[in-house]
Amino acid sequence: MIIAIDGPAGSGKSTIADELARRFGFTKLDTGAMYRTVAHVSASRGVDLDDEGAVGDVARALDIRFEKRPDRMHVLADGVDVTREIRTPATDRIVSKVSAYPSVREAMLGCQRAFAAGRDVVAEGRDIGTVVFPDAELKVFLTADPAERARRRVLQRHPEGAPDADALAREVEETLADLRRRDELDAQRACAPLRAADDAVRIDSTTHSIDEIVERIGALADARRDA
């Protein structure tokens, strides 16, 4: 069975997909991490990011693997652990450009489908229900108010505790600007833009807790599994 979860940055996809995978014993596929890996590896090799051909070559040749370790899921690129590097603001800034290239998307599409062959998967991204797994048994499109999405992103960055109110407000403001820029690029691109599949269940996570949403999606998945 495939559960597809799409939505913009900070809509709660990752946390919700983790919890669903744990609950159902499915494997989680974080497709954003794959695009982030291509972006980071291309930049670290000095590839010209405006050169689609060169970035596409990196994407096609790259061996991306996920490894479950006690602390978290790690991402390996040609055997090198890039888990931390792919979440930096530097990678945030370049990933939308790299993920808009059709040659990069084509390379990732093959890897994503191969990853899911023969297993139960919760896959999260932007085009899972529309392009990667159009026959997924359950498709969810998650949204949330942009300001709330920015606030969540900032709090995630400070697991040790939130900064003081002024610093928090400033960081939320900056993050909101970056989220809006990325949403726009992801939704406007020609190839596989961020869009809800016609048969996706739309859920707004602004005013619901993660637990409530997981309950709701879990109930939908149970019903589809038994159908």
Q: Tokens 């090198």 sit at which residue? A: 80
Alpha helices in 88-162 (DSSP H): 89-99, 102-116, 146-157
**Single residue of 83, 99, 130, 175 touching ligand DC by CB under 6 A:** 99
**Single residue of 12, 56, 125, 146 touching ligand DC by CB under 6 A:** 125
Per CB under 6 A, 139 contacts ligand DC = no
Q: Report the run of H or E that residue 144 belongs to, with start and end.
A: none
**Single residue of 1, 24, 32, 145 touching ligand DC by CB under 6 A:** 32
Per CB under 6 A, 96 contacts ligand DC = yes
Per CB under 6 A, 152 contacts ligand DC = no
Binding-residue total with ligand DC (CB under 6 A): 13
Per CB under 6 A, 149 contacts ligand DC = no
* Contact positions with ligand DC (CB under 6 A) in 179-198: 182, 186
Smallest distance from ligand DC to CB 153, Å: 9
Q: How would DSSP label each residue in 178-223?
A: HHHHHHHHHHH-SSS-S---TTPEEEE-TTS-HHHHHHHHHHHHHH
Q: Which residues contact 108 (CB under 8 A, 6 or more apart)?
A: 31, 34, 35, 38, 59
Which residues bind to ligand DC, rule: CB under 6 A?
9, 31-32, 35-36, 95-96, 99, 125-127, 182, 186
